[in-house]
Structure 1
C-alpha cells in the first residue's frame, strides 16, 4: 500500500523525547569518559535536561555532620555538586534534580540499594532533612540564579512504591517526605518546580492516592512523574539477564496512564514527566545493545509526545554501576553509548530524530514524516519487531507519495539494522572481546556509523514516489531536499576520460 503524504502540516512534531535523558549516579559526572560521552550526545542529539540518582548519597558529600561544643551541627558541602552542574551547563544541558538517596549519617536505618549502596531509609531527623533540602536549593539559586534554577524540575525520591528503593515501600512515610520537601522548596521560592511521586510500573494505584493526598492537604505539586518499562522478570545468567518483552505499545499505554488517572481532578492539567523509560529495567540486558531495541522503540519516540510532556531515555551512557562495574565493553547497559563512546543503534534512532523537521506531515505504524522551514522533508521509517522471538522481518516495505516542487530531489538515506551501523554485531563477530584494544575500538566505532546512500529522485506531477525496503530491525532516516541544478551547459560526464 502506498501512503499519500499531505502537502500541508497537521501541526508541530513534539520534541518531548528531547526534554530529558537519564544518567548513572550523580558523581559519575566527574569522570572524563562520562563528560566525553555527554559532549558527543549533546553535539549530535542535544537533550535539555539530565536526571540521575544519588544527589544526596555519600559519594557527593553534601551532608557533613559534626560535633562542636557538645552539639550536633551540619556543614553542607557543595564541592562536587558544583563541579557536576558546571560541567552540565558547559555542555548545554540542565539538571532535572532528583532528591535522594539518604545520606548515611542522616538515615534511620542501614538498608541500601545498588552496588554503590544508596541508603533507602527515611531520615532520622525530619528537621535535618528539611535543612539539607533548603541549603541545597538556596545554594543553587545563589550560584546559578533564580531565573535558571526555576527551570530545573525537582523530583522527590525515586520509585518509593518499591521496597528496594524506599524502606517497606511505606506510602505514608513517602507522603510525609514529599510534603516536608515540597513545602521547604516552596518556602525558598514559590516559582521553583517540585513534583513526584516517581513511581515504577506495577503500582498504578499509588498515583491517584498521591493526587488525593496533595489535594487534601494542599501540598505543592507542579508536575507528576512515573517510569515505564515493558520487560518481564529477570532470568539471571552470570553478569547478565534475559527477559521476555511485552509489545512496545505497552510503553505508550503506561505513558497515558497518569493523565487518565487524574482526569477531571485538580491535578488534571499538570505536566506529566516519564522520568525513566526503556525496554528492559535491567542494566545488564543485552537487548539494549541491539538493533532490535532501536526498531522496538521507534514508534514510542514517534508517538510518545502526544501523551506526556516528556519521556526520558534511561540512560545516555553505559557509565552506570548499579549492578557493579561492567565486565565488558558490551554488557547490556542502558546507555545510548557504551564506555569509550561506541554508538548503539538506539543512539542513531535519537540522532535521526534530532535531524528531523518540526512540521508534522503524517505518522503511521511504521513511519513518521516531517518538514522543516527550508522545505526539506524527512522520513523516519522502521521495520516491525516480533517480541515472541519469531523470525525477524526482512524486506518490509514503506511506500510514500510525497508532494514536492521542482523537477528532482536529492535523497540522503541513513540506516542502522542487524547488519548496518551495528557495532554489537561487529563485536560479536570479533569474538566479544571484553576489553577491546585501541585498534578494535576504532573498528567498532567505524562499524557503529550508519550506512549512508544517496541518489536523485524525479518529481512527477508534483509528487515524489518513495519506496523503502527495510532490512531486519532496520531504522532509517531519509532526507529529501529540493535540487537547484547549477550544471554548466558544456558539462558532459561521458567525456571525463577525455574520449
Structure 2
C-alpha cells in the first residue's frame, strides 16, 4: 500500500534533536582529537549547545583555596574554562552549563564517581558553594556578554537520584543545593536560565517532589531536566558490557514523562530538556557502534521533538573516560564518532536529519518527509530494529507518493547506512579488530564509514513522484528529491560521445 504524502506542511519540523549534544568531562575539550571531532560534527550536523560533567571538578581548576594572613581564602580561576568555551563558540556551539561536580577543596566527603574521580558529596560550606556558582556565572557574563549567556541553560548537578552521583541520593540535600545554586545564578542576572533536577530513569517520583519543593519555597525553575535510557542489567565481559534493550518507544515514553507529571502544576509550561539519552547508559556497550543502533534511534529522532524541547544524545565523540581510557577504536563508546574521527552509523542518522527540510509533510512508523523553501523534498526511512534478537529484516519496503510540484521529473539522491554499507564497525571486525589501527587501516575504516550513495531521475506525474524504497538490514536511508529544470541543449545525443552520427530522427536527446 502506498502512503500519499500531503501537498502542504502540517507545521515545522522541531529541531529538539539538535538543540544539545553530550560530551565527556569539561577539560577533555582541551585535546586536539576532541576539537577535531567537534569541528567535524559541527560542519556536518551543527548542534546548538553542548553539555558535560566536570565544570567545577578539579580538572578544570576553577576552585583554588589557599591560606593567607591566617585565614582561608579562595581564588576562582577560569584559565581552562575560557579556553574551552572560546573553542566551543568558535565552532558555533554554546554551552549547556552543568554545575558540578564538587571541588575536592570544598567537598564534605571523599566519595567520587568515574575513573577521573568527580566528587559527589555536598559542599562543606554552603556559603562558599554559592560564592563559587556566583563567581563562575558572573565571569561568563563578563567575558561573553549578558545577552549571550542568557541563551545558555544552567543545570544544577547530574542524576542526584542515584547514590553514585550524589551522596546517599539525599533528596533534601539536593533540594538545598538547587535552591542555593539557583539564587546564586539569579543574583548575577534574573534573566539567566536555571533548572534541574537532571534525574536518571527509574526514579520519577523525584520530579514530582522537586516541583512541590520549588513551588512551596518559591525557588526559580526556568526548565526541568531528566535523562532517558532503555538498557537492562549489565552482563560484564573484559573491557565491555552487554545489555538487553527495551523497544525504542520506551525512550519516547520517557521524553513525555515530565510534561505528564507536571500537568496542572505551576511548572506545567516550563521547557523540558532531556539532557542525556541513549540506548545503553554504559560507555563500553558495543551496541553503540552498530548499524542496528542507527535504525533503533531513527524513530526517536523523528518524533521526539513533539514530546520535549530538547533531547541530547550522549555523546558526540568517544573522547570520553568515565570507565578509563578506551582500549580500542571501537569499544562501545557513546560517541557518534570514534577516536580519530571514524563515523558510526548513528552519526549518519544525525547527518541525514541535518539535511532535512524545515516543513514537516508526513511522519510514519518507518518514515519522515519534509520539504525546504527551495522545493527539495527529503525522505528519511528506516528498517525495523528488533530488540528481541530475531533476524534483521532484509527487504523492508517503504512506498510513498510525494508532492514535487510542476516539474516533469525530479533528481533523486539516496544515501544509506546499513549492515552492509556505511558500517565501519563491521569493517573493523573483518579486519580482525585491530587495537591500534595503522594509518592505512584508519583510512580504510573512514572510507568504509561513508554511506552508499546512488542517484537517478524520477518521473513526476500530476505533481507527484512515486517512491518504492527497499531497505536492507538495519538500513537508514535519506532520499533527497529536487525538481528538475531541464537545460539540456536541443542538439544533445549520447551517440556523439563516441563520435557517431545522431540516432534515428536526427538531432535530439
TM-score by structure 2 length?
0.98
**Cα offset for 1:433?**
0.4
**Cα offset for 1:352?**
0.3
The CA RMSD measured in Å over matched residues stands at 0.5
Distance 2:243 2:7 in 1: 43
Match in the other structure for 1:488? 489
Distance 1:386 1:140 in 2: 46
Match in the other structure for 2:476? 475
Matches within 5 A, 1:157-196: 157-196=157-196
**Cα offset for 1:495?**
2.5
Distance 2:274 2:124 in 1: 30
Matches within 5 A, 1:103-114: 103-114=103-114
SS at match of 1:232: strand
**Cα offset for 1:230?**
0.2
Q: Does 1:334 align with 2:337?
A: no
**Cα offset for 1:126?**
0.4
Runs of 4+ in 1 over 3 A off after TM superposition: none
Match in the other structure for 2:236? 236
SS at match of 1:340: helix
SS at match of 2:341: coil
Distance 2:275 2:142 in 1: 27
Q: What does the per-residue CA deviation read over 1:342-376, in whole Å, with 9 as the maximum and x for residues that have no partner?
A: 00000000000000101000000000000000000
SS at match of 1:244: strand
Distance 2:481 2:463 in 1: 14
Match in the other structure for 1:421? 422
TM-score by structure 1 length?
1.00
Matches within 5 A, 1:332-481: 332-404=332-404, 405-481=406-482
Q: Does 1:250 align with 2:250?
A: yes
SS at match of 1:243: strand
**Cα offset for 1:440?**
0.3
Matches within 5 A, 1:306-325: 306-325=306-325
**Cα offset for 1:53?**
0.2
Q: What does the per-residue CA deviation read over 1:144-165, in whole Å, with 9 as the maximum and x for residues that have no partner?
A: 1101011100000000000000
Distance 1:187 1:93 in 2: 26
Distance 2:266 2:438 in 1: 58
Unaligned runs of 5+ in 2: 501-509
Distance 2:237 2:168 in 1: 28
Distance 2:8 2:138 in 1: 48
Q: Does 1:91 align with 2:91?
A: yes
SS at match of 1:381: strand
Q: What does the per-residue CA deviation read over 1:301-360, in whole Å, with 9 as the maximum and x for residues that have no partner?
A: 000000000000000000000000000000000000000000000000000000010100
Match in the other structure for 1:304? 304
SS at match of 1:159: coil
The count of residues paired between Structure 1 and Structure 2 equals: 499
Distance 2:403 2:157 in 1: 49
